[in-house]
Amino acid sequence: MNQSITDTQKFRTVDKADKTDARSVLADVHTALIEKGYNPVNQIVGYIMSGDPTYITGYKNARSRIGKLERHELLEEIVTFYLENARF
């Protein structure tokens, strides 16, 4: 399908089960990063931006768990959570 760069693309949404899993994985990865002394925001952002799994510790299987999700699933969960909780 040929789309013009001016056309808006529709992004596939993540189903509810995947959202729950993404939220659980992010929470567990956050905990593992803190316990190992890392800044979880910096490390998770680095991972999402680069796709490099070494941003995430292997402690408590955090790297393995986060690697089972697509980065866009993580980003969708983060943006959804932010927009649902922001006070505009």
pLDDT band at 11 (very low <50, low <70, confident <90, very high): low
Domain assignment present for residue 66? The answer is: yes
Domain assignment present for residue 26? The answer is: yes
Domain assignment present for residue 57? The answer is: yes
Q: Reply yes or no on whether the pLDDT at 51 is more than 60.
A: yes
Give the pLDDT confidence score for residue 8 in this predicted structure: 74
Domain of 58, in residue numbers: 16-81
Average pLDDT of span 5-16:
67
Structure confidence by residue, pLDDT tens digits, 59-75: 999 999 999 999 999 99
For the chain, the domain total comes to 1
Cα–Cα dist 54/63, whole Å: 8
Give the pLDDT confidence score for residue 6 in this predicted structure: 82
Q: Which residue has the tokens 């803190």?
A: 34
Contact partners, residue 44, CB within 8 Å, separation at least 6: 26, 29, 30, 33, 55, 56, 74
Q: Reply yes or no on whether the pLDDT at 14 is more than 90.
A: no
Domain assignment present for residue 68? The answer is: yes
Give the pLDDT confidence score for residue 7 in this predicted structure: 80
Cβ atoms within 10 Å, residue 64: 11
Q: How far is CA 45 from CA 2, 28, 62, in A?
A: 32, 15, 15
Domain assignment present for residue 87? The answer is: no
